[in-house]
Amino acid sequence: MKLRVLGVLSVLVVALVLLVSNVILSSAGSELTAQLQISRVASLNRIAQLAYDAASEGETAVLKRDMDTYSGLYGEALVVRMQTQTLISGSVDPQRADIRDALARASLNLSDTTLRPLTPFGTETQVISRSFGSASQVLGAVVMDVNVDAAREKLRLRWLSTGAAATMLAIVLLLAAGRVTGWVLRPVQRLGMAVRELKETGRSTKVPEAGPPELRELSRSFTEMATTLGELIESQRQLIADTSHHLRNPIGALRLRVDLLQLELKDAKARAAGDGVLAELERVEEILDSVLKLAVAEHRALEDSLGTKNVEGAAAVDTHVDPAVVLGEEVERAQPAALAAGCILRPVTPEDPGLELKCNRIELAQMIGELLNNAIKYAPGAAITATLRIAAGNTIIEITDTGPGLSTAQLANATTRFWRAEQHATVRGTGMGMTIVEKLATVNGARLNLSANQPHGLRASLTFVTPPGPGETEHRS
């Protein structure tokens, strides 16, 4: 960002310096041209007056002497054309095109005493002319071949001095622009780093208050906001821990009392009522577990990126995990529930394919377990397949089933918390399983994809973007 701002400021500084330099140089050129023109027109008028006197008296000696003196002093040629003769001083050819044209115009009483604006480079001379005579008759013309080399040399010196001054000014302005840019943008860069740190770790160090007053106020406000957010994160963590502790104990005690009460119930109707109470109590326990799991998963995104966790249900550290081993363990753990539901769960061969994932092992097991339990619960009697494969540098863990599956609209809502498909209304559940998996996948650097399995059923895949390692193969069972 600093380079872009400095680039824009540099262009503006250079444009400003060039504009000011152009004005100064144009003024210098106009000033030297005006000075030279005033001096040469005065000399031209004097020579024209001498030429008029000579033409009137018929004596040109004085005129010729003055012409030679002038040419010797200034190195500029003069041509005087009278009715009877033409006088020349200095080195000039009266037949030169510009001299001839100037004499012709002056003979028609068309004087030209204006010099073109000077430029610092070039070797050409300039010609000025005027006629002389009476009010009713032109007696002749005077042409001066003006040598502008001395004026050009002065103009070049002014150009050099102006260029040196402009260069120094540009350097000073660029250095000042760099300092001002750093003064303004350094707090912005610190704020950007603090925002990234807050995003990645859930906390931010105090941002130094520097720069303009507005940025100092912004840094102060950001530090206060980050502090408040950190306190809120800690408060949330503590709330999760307290909820887990204070709700589990009363629910466990209530369940024990219900179990004891059922032992005292003799009537079948009363026992049925007790069974209903126990079923609802189990549902409350299940919802509480799901809410706590979801809270932990959402809280993960606000804590240190893949760091130590202090919440119940979270792992202590994140390590490089062998996904084949974790998948095999979860498939083996889910086999009894699959058999009870009439499902055929194909086990994964527990051979180490040499794969490693940088993720939380317990949370990876939780995600796979949720997907397996979801398939067993909502696709009873179906064939369930667990797959570990590599595709385009990505490690993919895939759970597919041959159950009824979900429609396209239902797939779009499947990760919404507490959402359940209409056809599953009679199946016991909380509607938070896929939401938990999606949150845990996000904080572990993966993404959850739900799609239809062909010819029918559901395909749930966890995709970890990782570079392929040695010995990576596809395992499917």
- Predicted confidence at residue 150, as pLDDT, reads 87
Cα-Cα-Cα-Cα torsion 332, 337, 340, 343, nearest 10 degrees, comes to: -70
- In terms of residue numbers, what domain contains 426? 319-476
- Domain-located, residue 309: no
- Domain-located, residue 188: no
Q: How many structural domains comprise the chain?
A: 3
Are 144 and 242 found together in one domain?
no
Helix (H) or strand (E) holding 263: helix 213-264
pLDDT tens series, the chain, 477 aa? 667 767 777 888 888 888 888 888 888 889 998 999 999 999 999 999 999 999 888 888 999 999 999 999 988 999 999 888 889 998 888 888 989 999 999 888 888 989 888 888 888 889 999 999 887 788 899 999 998 888 888 888 988 998 898 889 888 888 888 877 777 777 776 777 777 666 665 556 677 777 677 777 777 777 777 777 777 777 776 777 677 667 777 777 887 887 888 787 778 888 788 778 877 777 777 777 777 777 776 666 555 443 434 444 444 445 678 888 888 888 988 999 999 989 988 866 544 456 788 888 888 888 999 899 989 988 888 899 888 888 877 888 899 999 888 888 888 888 887 788 887 777 877 777 888 888 888 888 888 999 998 888 899 999 988 654 444 444 444
- Predicted confidence at residue 42, as pLDDT, reads 93
- Residue 358: beta bridge partners? 320
- Predicted confidence at residue 201, as pLDDT, reads 59
- Predicted confidence at residue 348, as pLDDT, reads 60
- Residue 447: beta bridge partners? 463
Are 330 and 416 found together in one domain?
yes
d(CA 283, CA 289): 10
Within 355-397, where are the H helices? 361-378
d(CA 235, CA 307): 18
Are 89 and 52 found together in one domain?
yes
- Domain-located, residue 462: yes
What are the structure tokens assigned to 345, written together? 């769960």
- Predicted confidence at residue 306, as pLDDT, reads 35
- Domain-located, residue 78: yes
Are 130 and 48 found together in one domain?
yes
CATH number of the domain enclosing 265 = 1.10.287
pTM passes above 0.75 = no
- Predicted confidence at residue 469, as pLDDT, reads 47
- Predicted confidence at residue 256, as pLDDT, reads 82
Q: Mark which of 271, 300, 329 sits at the end of a domain.
A: 300
Q: Mark which of 139, 154, 169 sits at the end of a domain.
A: 154
Are 408 and 273 found together in one domain?
no
- Predicted confidence at residue 316, as pLDDT, reads 41
Are 231 and 260 found together in one domain?
yes
Are 25 and 72 found together in one domain?
yes
Asked if 187 and 210 touch (Cβ cutoff 8 Å), the reply is yes
